[in-house]
Amino acid sequence: MFTTDLLRQLDKIAGQYEQKQAALLPVLHAIQEKEGLISPESEQDVSRYLGIPVVHVHEAVSFYHLFHQTKKGKCHFSVCQTTSCALLGGEDIIEHLKTRLGIKSGETTPDGKFSLSVVECLGACELAPMMQYNKEYRGFLNKKKIDELIDKNK
Amino acid sequence: MEKVLTRNFGLENSHRLETYLKNKGYQAARKALTKMTGPQVIDEIKKSNLRGLGGAGFPTGMKWGFIPQANPKPKYLVVNGDEGEPGTFKDKYIFEKDPHALLEGIIITCYAIASHKAYVYVRGEYVKSMQTLQAAIDEANSSGYLGKGIMGTTFDLDVVVHPGAGAYICGEETALLESLEGKKGFPRLKPPFPAVVGLFGCPTVINNVETLSCVGPIIANGGEWFAKLGSPKNGGNRLFCVSGHVNKPGVYELPNGITLRAIIYEHAGGIPNGRKLKAVIPGGISAPVLTADEIDVKMDFDSLKAIGSMAGSGGIIVMDDTTDMVWAAMVAARFFAHESCGQCSPCREGSGWVYNNLKKLYQGGARPHDLANLPGIIGNIGGNTICAFGDAVTMSVGSYVSKFREEFENKIKERVCRI
Ligand SMILES: Cc1cc2nc3c(=O)[nH]c(=O)nc-3n(C[C@H](O)[C@H](O)[C@H](O)COP(=O)(O)O)c2cc1C
Ligand code: SF4
Ligand code: FES
């Protein structure tokens, strides 16, 4: 069940659209912001709230890669592997993160601190090689910058 | 050169209404709303030779003219700020440095097509862009530049920011509409075109952020002024995004008729470490790659098309002579395989197959028929799919194989699997 606070926020979002279903993406973003993931219970709640089948909600959650069905770590690295970043060493940054954290793309360390996602172009190729670190963009990456971030948050 | 799109970028607090107003902000919208009719605005845009800057280069004035005014349904403007085309990052600068220029373009466009509601679809990762744009909308609403009775006229307009959620295909206009309606981003079959059956089944114009940011200056200075800035049939300047192996990656506002050579060497500072240029993608990853001896081309839609590539989104990706072109093709194919929406089998299966083949070629383990089959597999994707993504796979990956054939053949000699 949504809290009254969240419900008020969702009503405000949904009020901007001619058809309630159109609010699906912003509604999911708002829930994920509060809860850190989209759980099966939230999918049920959203389905009731927007008046659409739960399978539609679930399809959207699995289609769009910014929605998570499990919680991400406190530090979430989303590193770009597309051409401009790859030309400047993006793939090495990804390998380095995998080694340092001992996880693969899509995984979280057992202590729940770090998550790694390998992503396609984030629209910041001028900062290559770059990543999204939680919500922030970080560019001109090298192994030292990555190590500093990991050590600071260990 | 006269700066149009970046005219305010260097100002302190360029994103604030106050700054924008000090620099003739919203005067073009006032002119359109008080002195011009909708059809007059459309005529001016036609005269300007403004072409869509999101990728396809379709004439903007003509697109607006397709909105059936006799249709009693509401009309919508949808702003494409998905900016997913690899190599492209210009819309982010507009959102963050001059959101009011975009809003002014939106007001004039909506007035021209008699729309009272605009949705700005922004890629979900652009958190700062969305915040800056929302703040600008709030300022405009509370100062009478948006909302009811704009600037004392009878024209009402509501602008809503809509977050995407990380899917490249949602930049394709019909996938974007599906996504905006709360569904998976699956492209629709065309026709019908969005101008007739668009958002919520109503007539809809979809334009890129940069395209709409040109509209204010065109109305302020006249269509002919804008047409003269560019090259024949390609009005105005563009924001060229330069990345990869260059000394000064970034966004450059330059006339449409400039050459690729001048952008790389004069503006982006040339190739680092004394290296030589090997290849360039001129218009986002979907555009066929050019070799180093093709860079005297003019960067407008028609000139690039004439040499078999495309101006696309204006994203220039530069590769120096250390670049392994089999690897580069593999990285591009990896992107396509990852981002295919999966709706059509030639694209879904084909892009995965092409990627796996290239990966084997690059890493070892390929057999001679893997290279021999490649052009056929690639060729079978394009032209057989619902949206232009399939053509992008064919043209992009195909161009590496045909222009750098020798490297592919050498790879197969070096790393072939002989079992
Ligand atoms: C696969 C694919 C991805 C696209 N991505 C974008 C995008 O991220 N941003 C954009 O403005 N246009 C994108 N487009 C082009 C849009 O479909 C559409 O042509 C454009 O938004 C129209 O606006 P314009 O006329 O102002 O260019 C894409 C097209 C395709 C086929
Ligand atoms: S061509 Fe590819 S991306 Fe486009 S609809 Fe078909 S499967 Fe989806
Ligand atoms: S290629 Fe990495 S952000 Fe664009």
A62 in helix, strand or coil? helix
Residue B384's nearest CA partner among B339, B347, B354 is B347
With beta carbons less than 8 A apart as the criterion, state whether A25 and B164 touch: yes
The DSSP element (H or E) to which A76 belongs, if any, is: strand A75-80
Q: How much is the pLDDT for B368? A: 85
- Over residues B308-322, the mean pLDDT reads 98
B197-251 pLDDT, tens digit each: 999 999 999 999 999 999 999 999 999 999 999 999 999 999 999 999 999 999 9
Residue B224's nearest CA partner among B34, B3, B43, B63 is B43
B264-299 pLDDT, tens digit each: 999 999 999 999 999 999 999 999 999 999 999 999
What is the token pair recorded at B111?
A: 């007035």
- What band does B412 get if pLDDT is binned at 50, 70 and 90? confident
How far from B43 is each of B195, B216, B332, CA to CA, in Å?
Answer: 18, 14, 40
**Vertex B316 angle, CA B95 and B277, to 5°:** 150
With beta carbons less than 8 A apart as the criterion, state whether B66 and B195 touch: yes
How far from B388 is each of B24, B37, B40, B108, B391, CA to CA, in Å?
Answer: 40, 35, 33, 29, 5
**Vertex A73 angle, CA A69 and A77, to 5°:** 100
Residue B245's nearest CA partner among B198, B285, B280 is B280
Q: How much is the pLDDT for B387? A: 97
Ligand nearest to the CA of A130: 3
Q: How many CA atoms lie within 13 A of B319 on its CB side?
A: 27
CA gap A20, B182 in Å, rounded: 9
Report the residue of B126, B129, B132, B243 to disrupt the A interface, i.e. the one with the largest count of A CBs within 10 Å.
B243
With beta carbons less than 8 A apart as the criterion, state whether B31 and B163 touch: no
CA gap B6, B400 in Å, rounded: 34
Q: To the nearest whole percent, how much of chain B has pLDDT over 70?
A: 99
B10-29 pLDDT, tens digit each: 999 999 999 999 999 999 99
SS3 for chain B, per residue? CCCCCCCCCCCCCCCCHHHHHHCCCCHHHHHHHHHCCHHHHHHHHHHHCCECCCCCCCEHHHHHHCCCCCCCCCCEEEEEECCCCCCCCHHHHHHHHCHHHHHHHHHHHHHHHCCCEEEEEECCCCHHHHHHHHHHHHHHHHCCCCECCHHHCCCCEEEEEEECCCCHHHHCHHHHHHHHCCCCCCCCCCCCCCCCCCHHHCCEEEEEHHHHHCHHHHHHHCHHHHHHHCECCECCEEEEEEEECCCCCEEEEEECCCEHHHHHHHHCCCCHHHCCEEEEECCCCCCCCEEHHHCCCECCHHHHHHCCCCCCCCEEEEEECCCCHHHHHHHHHHHHHHHCCCCCHHHHHHHHHHHHHHHHHHHCCECHHHHHHHHHHHHCCCCCCCCCHHHHHHHHHHHHHHHCHHHHHHHHHHHECCC
B188-207 pLDDT, tens digit each: 999 999 999 999 999 999 99
With beta carbons less than 8 A apart as the criterion, state whether B23 and B9 touch: no
- Over residues B161-168, the mean pLDDT reads 98
Nearest to A120 among B124, B244, B338 (CB): B338
What's the mean pLDDT when you consider all of chain A? 97
Chain A residues touching residue B244 (CB < 8 angstroms): 83-84, 87-88, 125, 128
Q: How much is the pLDDT for B342? A: 96
Cα nearest neighbour of B163 on chain A: A26
Q: How far is A40 from chain B (nearest CA, A)?
A: 18
**Ligand 1 geometric centre to CA of B169 (Å):** 9
- Over residues A89-98, the mean pLDDT reads 98
Q: How much is the pLDDT for B364? A: 86
Say which DSSP state A108 is in.
B
- What band does A59 get if pLDDT is binned at 50, 70 and 90? very high
Residue B419 has pLDDT above 70, yes or no: no
Percent helix, strand and coil across chain A, each to the nearest 5:
50, 10, 35
Contact B86 A83 (CB under 8 A): yes
Q: To the nearest whole percent, how much of chain B has pLDDT over 90?
A: 95
Q: How far is CA B179 from the centre of its chain?
A: 18
What's the mean pLDDT when you consider all of chain B? 96
Q: How much is the pLDDT for A108? A: 98
* Residue B174 near ligand 1, beta carbon < 6 Å: no
- What band does A38 get if pLDDT is binned at 50, 70 and 90? very high
- Over residues A33-42, the mean pLDDT reads 96
Q: How much is the pLDDT for B367? A: 86
Environment class of residue B25 by beta-carbon count within 10 Å: exposed (0-12), middle (13-18) or buried (19+)?
Answer: buried
Cα nearest neighbour of A15 on chain B: B160
ipTM tops 0.90: yes
Q: How much is the pLDDT for B57? A: 95
Task: For chain B, say whether A123 makes contact (Cβ under 8 Å).
Answer: yes
**Ligand 2 geometric centre to CA of A63 (Å):** 14
Ligand nearest to the CA of A139: 3
* Residue A122 near ligand 3, beta carbon < 6 Å: yes
Residue B320's nearest CA partner among B364, B367, B265 is B265
